[in-house]
Structures are given as C-alpha cells and as structure tokens.
Structure 1
C-alpha cells in the first residue's frame, strides 16, 4: 500500500519554503514530492488541499522573493484590485528598484523608480497604488486596446476614478510614457461590462466611429425594455456583443429574441457582433455600423 503523505499541522493551509520545512524537520525532500503539497513557485510550496490562485503566487512572491522597496505591479496588481483577467498560472508581475532584481520562473520583473507613496500593503502584499498600476499597465501593454481593457476593468470595479487618472497622467507630463496613459484614460469607460466589450468599443472609436455610451437603459412608454452594451442614444442605435453563452439553451435564445423584439419596437436598430466577426471581419462590421448611423441621422 502507498504510504500516507505526511501533513504536519503547522504547514496545513499555509505557504512555506520547502528548504525551511526540511531544515526544521517537518518534512523530507520525498515528502515535498508527495501529493500532499503543491509547488507555488520554485522552492515555495502550499497545501495541495488549497485551490491555487494568482493571489497565492503574489503572496508567495511578497513573502519570500520580493526585495525591499519592491511591489506587486501591473497585471498582478490589477488582479489584486479585482480585475481578475489573469489565471493562476500567469507570471506574477513585480516592480523593483534599479538596485535590485528578481530572477525566478513565473515571475516577470520590471525595474524602475518606485516612490514609496506609490505603494501600500493590500492584505499583507506590497502592491502599487491603483494610479501607479495604471501607469505601468500603459507602459507594459504593447497593444493600445489592451491598455484600455485593463483600465476599464479597474475603473468598473471602483479601484480608480478616470478623472483622477487623467490628472495623474497630466501630472507626469514630460516623463516617458505619460501620453500613453493619457490616451488610455481618455478612451477608458467605467461602464465596460467585459474585456470583449472594451475591445469592441475602443476599436470602434479608433476606427473613427463616434464614441458610444455604455450601459444605456432603453425604455418604452416609461417601461424598462433593456440595458444595452454600447449605444448611440441620439441615433437610437445599439451594438450588442454576442458571447458563446447566448446559444447555450433554448430558454436563453427565447429571452434574447424577446428582448431584441422589444428594443426594435421601441424604435431602436440593434446590430450584433460575435467574437469571430470581431476577429475576422471587423472592417466589414464598421462599414455596416457607419451606414446605419448615417441612415439614422435626424431620427
């Protein structure tokens, strides 16, 4: 019969250094390789009964890897503020002073000046402030659309106010990258409900379409009809992003079609775009939307 793995009570539910557990006599190297434990980062372990999240990796870095003056930053900081757009296996992004460096698998290290006023402790983890997090995201995301996706997510969760972010970007005028943040802040919208909706909205604006409003409530005779993803109320035109879930059940299809009929009855034109259309024929969709907006002028 296989040997039951050792599970010392002192280690249950915790993060710990494997070398320290071995040195203290709590475990042997063979014990660490058992199914009782899981490796979080190189040399850092956790109870296998704990479902591993990106936060566990951030906490492991903070406790055992982070040099003085460093902080969890970028996408990982955004995750800790509620923008859960990374997975448990994604690298932890950290920002460290120029005098330090972190070299470890699954840790992405950025080196730059970091003022102490731009970090604080969040549940025991040193993390860049939301404003500084947005600054770093604007610098580290090569795609201007993705910069806005992250900032949208932070704004939607109340972690950052867009007027404050614009002021923060302007206060950094002259620093390398300040215009990146300012442009992203101008395009951001706290009403974004999902990353794909953010991508759609920003790509439309960059393509020359007038900026839509988010989360527009449509009514008819004083009765609520729908809340739509993106809309131009002055034209009574709405765009809906269709995810896979829309086709998951007959009941959902019925509800979607009834909602669509109600929107049309209220005098609205509704265009739908799928992930495939967004990926393979975005220009075609832009032409359709532009034609509809022109046709609806004066309505």
Structure 2
C-alpha cells in the first residue's frame, strides 16, 4: 500500500477514478482530502491540475459510456473555435445513445443518426468541426454561426462543400434555417472573429459585401492586405484590436500600411470594437458615406 503522502505513478498528473485508486492501494481518507477535486461522482482530479476544459473532459470521459462524444459548444471549444460566452459558465455537452444518462455538470443529448461523425485527430471523442457547427445552430444566432464557421474554414477544419453537404442532410431539423442563412455569409479569408462581425454589420445594413484580406499591389509592388476592402473604390477597412494599440511594432506597421495605402489613393477607415458594438449605426453611416463619395455619379 502506498504511503498516504504519495500516489502511485499511474495516478499522478491526470484525472482518475476512485475505483482505480482503491485498487492501487490508495486509502479512502486520502481521496477525500483537499489534494483532489471531485468534478463528477467517483472521479478525482489532483488539485494542482488547472481546471481547463480539456482536463474536465478527461475527467468526464472516465464515467461516460463508450459511445459518448463531446458535442455542441464543448466540441467547438475543444476545436478552439470562437464560441460566444465563457466555458466555466456552461455544462459539458455530451451526445450518447445511452438512455437516461445523467451527470451533474453535463448536458446530455440523444444521439442522432445524421450526426454521428467523430474527429479522429483528438485524444478525446469529439464531434468533427462540421458536425459541432451544425449542432450550434440550436443555440446560436446566425451572426455567431458565421463567426464560428469563418474560423473553421480559415483553419482548414472544414470546407465550404462539406458544410453545404451537411446542411442539405438536415432538412426539418431544429436550427437548420439558421444554417441555411449562415452558409452564404461565410468567408474563409477572414482572419478574426471581429473581422467577421464587421463584415456582417455592413452586409446586414444593406451595404455591398466587402472582400476580405485581398492584397493591394501598386505598380507591381505589394503594399498592404486590408482586413476588408472595396478594391474598385479603393476603400480599405481595418479592424483595430487592442494589440494594435499596445504593441508598438504592430502600431508602427499599421501606420506605415495606412500611409502607403493613402499615398496610393486609398481611403482607409479604422474600426474598433466600440464602432461595432456600441455605435454600429454611426459606423455603417461612415462606410456608406465613403462608398457614396467614391462611387461614379
């Protein structure tokens, strides 16, 4: 039997079941101590392990049936997709064919014959990026689905053909109308969630759809790649996140890029999160005025 102050090597640095610990000779009073968390009944996690989503899922997997997969927003977060909200404020989403499965801290979904694929590139059983994107339609608005879809496309986790094919199989399913609306709004060239939201703000207000991250070449010389642009009007729209202000090197690159664009006759419009979330009407008006000023009469 191991000393009360130590654990067998097989249990160090990872979640484990109480049954496994007892079988290896760990006393019950040790397992009840402050050295461990108990996220689920019959499971212990060493207190020194950070309570990340991956750690919580590893702990949950110890008490789930073999057919269970992590799905919905949990799978999306494991894919590092930009799901709105914060993980600690929501349960783990699990899909399984086992009837009556219930665990505190989990949201259990019934398995669907149309949503059965599992991503084999992960150590945990999770939905593919395409499948969890479709599942998110039951909870997310269209704009949020576009933000997540843009990120999945940009990183090569899915293709637009895969998403279109999947949505075509979901006729009549809950949330499918949101997926149908989101599909034509997706843009794999978008570099960040806020670029997606800026584009959606403009398109939703009836403005022409800007192109994303298209190179600007003048006299054979590359000078910039604006976040969004109307190339035929030589209008560039740049989203300025906090790092553009706090990182001096980034700030200097931004200034140089803007100068080069303006010297080439481009109008540069800088957008911040305040412009998107707090004053969207004024932002749309600013872009609309720029388009009008550069459009042929």
TM range (shorter): 0.7 to 0.9
2:99 match:
99
Q: How many residues align?
A: 293
Checking the alignment, whether the CA contact within 8 Å between 1:93 and 1:108 is kept in structure 2 is yes
Is 2:73 the counterpart of 1:53? no
Deviation at 1:294, TM superposition (A): 1.7
Unpaired runs of 5+ residues, structure 2, are none
1:28 match:
28
Of stretches 252-261 and 262-271 in structure 1, the one that deviates more from structure 2 is 252-261
C-alpha distance in structure 2 between counterparts of 1:5 and 1:40, whole Å: 22
C-alpha distance in structure 2 between counterparts of 1:202 and 1:194, whole Å: 13
1:11 match:
11
Deviation at 1:281, TM superposition (A): 0.4
Deviation at 1:125, TM superposition (A): 2.5
1:202 match:
200
After superposition, the Cα gap between the structure-2 partners of 1:116 and 1:148, relative to the gap in structure 1 and judged at 3 Å, is: closer
Unpaired runs of 5+ residues, structure 1, are none
After superposition, the Cα gap between the structure-2 partners of 1:4 and 1:73, relative to the gap in structure 1 and judged at 3 Å, is: same
Deviation at 1:100, TM superposition (A): 3.6
Bigger strand fraction = 1
Deviation at 1:173, TM superposition (A): 2.7
Is 2:130 the counterpart of 1:170? no
RMSD (CA atoms): 2.8
Q: Which SS does the other structure have where 1:110 is aligned?
A: strand
1:132 match:
131
Deviation at 1:161, TM superposition (A): 0.6
C-alpha distance in structure 2 between counterparts of 1:298 and 1:253, whole Å: 34
Give TM-score scaled by structure 2 length.
0.85
C-alpha distance in structure 2 between counterparts of 1:98 and 1:64, whole Å: 13
After superposition, the Cα gap between the structure-2 partners of 1:4 and 1:296, relative to the gap in structure 1 and judged at 3 Å, is: farther
Give TM-score scaled by structure 1 length.
0.85
C-alpha distance in structure 2 between counterparts of 1:171 and 1:14, whole Å: 39
Question: Alignment partner for residue 187 of structure 2, among 186, 189, 193?
Answer: 189
Deviation at 1:63, TM superposition (A): 3.0
Checking the alignment, whether the CA contact within 8 Å between 1:191 and 1:215 is kept in structure 2 is yes
After superposition, the Cα gap between the structure-2 partners of 1:88 and 1:278, relative to the gap in structure 1 and judged at 3 Å, is: closer
